[in-house]
Amino acid sequence: MASSWTGTLEKIAECTWRIPETFMPGMRVPGIIYASDELIGQVRADQAPQQLVNVAHLPGLAGPVVAMPDIHWGYGFPIGGVAAMDQDNGVISPGGVGYDINCGVRLVRTNLEKKELLPRIRSLTEALFRDIPCGVGEKGRITLTRKQLFRVLREGSGWAVAEGYGRDDDLLHTEEGGCMEGADPALLTDRALLRGLPQLGTLGSGNHFLEIQAVSRVYDPDIAALWGLRENQIVVMIHSGSRGLGYQVCDDSLDTMVKAMDTYGISVPDRQLCCAPVRSLEGRAYFAAMAAAANYAWANRQIIMHWVRRSFERILGASPASLDMTLLYDVAHNIAKFERYTDAGRERELLVHRKGATRAFAPEHPALPARYRSTGQPVLIPGDMGTASYVLAGTEKAMTASWGSCCHGAGRVMSRKAAVRAGKNRDIAAELARKGVHVQSRGHRTLLEEAPEAYKNIHSVVDVVESAGLARKIIQMMPLGVVKG
């Protein structure tokens, strides 16, 4: 990772730091970083704050650019960065979405108790590892024609459910109903389509995972009960994205965006922030291609969830319905979306980039399904494979302070290469087994890359977003079985 950052950070409130817009010529808005006194040193450990400064140079920003406590170095935008653009004079940037378009998380409830599942955890984890393809470049179990792929890219999770991979109520509890409007598969290159054809229904590698978890703590019993959550309950978390197709959509867009900046006279301090006006031909084309990749990711997670249900059914000898395997929610991490916000009494629609950040809409937001209208949106925060994950609820403060956004995980403090070097001669699987976590992985290197020490303390990160008022804790979960690529 890049060297540490020594620029100006002003503490303006509890867990809230500001980089003033006077810090660097060309900044149009300040940068806001949410972090505790404990975490701010880790925030400074690489050049991610400078990346936030660079984002603050983009034209058409509707207000401050924001970074979550899991901020770390990324491509163009820092991971953990959020920026909202005015439609008329703002821009759209692939670096503000990232390569893994709509990398996201979904959480499946069950009626199982920890004590009754523990004797079967090994066999169940091994079944999930067999049933759900994972790993770099791994092909899926579904053979698609080009025509079928175009339907996936237009319809997202709806295509999967229509084909028998799930239920209609799954769509109700998926962000955007599992389908972004405006997707145009015809804008994807042949290379992107070829990469997408064999990978639907695959987990991938790196930080993607599938975990069997048990609810270890309930912070808000009333909301937990409304959401069907309780202590010692078994849940399943799925973390995956748009696979090679999404990567290729991002990669294919970069040359076009660099040329567009020359066409429209846009200057940025880092070419990784290449962009085009939101309403331009290039901007609209990228959005349509990105939306198609986002729909692929939602269909991907929907199909994986279907196979999770089937694995539970086979190993436990009970149907998904009898196990009450229902979707709590599905959230996207890397995406750009049009959303409505009120500023000084004026409502306007903005294009919000979230790069390694989770939507955290407040109670009564019209985009939320009826089940969550009174409580705020479920916010799913995965930890690393040896520590806790969390479910939080969105707040009104998030709508005014962070563009309806929250953190998306713990955030790396070590690069993958550094983690592999540091873990030389370690047996991560054995270490986790001693903690009661059964792990199945395609390779030893992935476990080294994703070792708990490679990440910030998830408890500290979640405490920050709660202290800052961006979300409130509902439950904590601990892993029992983990599948990695």
Residues annotated as catalytic (active site), given as ranges: 408
Angle of the 281-316 helix axis to the 243-264 helix axis, nearest 10 = 170
For residues 9 and 17, is the Cβ–Cβ distance under 8 A? yes
Two structure tokens written together for 275: 């962009």
| Strands 104-113, 326-332: pairing kind | antiparallel
Radius of gyration of the chain from Cα atoms?
21
Report CA dihedral (71, 76, 77, 80) to the nearest 10 degrees.
-30
Q: Which residues pair with 347 in a beta bridge?
A: 342
Contact 310, 358 (CB under 8 A): no
Q: How far apart are the first and last CA of the chain?
A: 23
Do strands 31-34 and 65-72 pair parallel, antiparallel, or not at all (unpaired)? parallel
For residues 58 and 46, is the Cβ–Cβ distance under 8 A?
no
Question: Are the C-beta atoms of residues 209 and 452 closer than 8 Å to each other?
Answer: no
Residues 6+ apart with CB under 8 A from 429: 439, 441, 444, 447
Reading the block at residue 117, the tokens are 């599942």
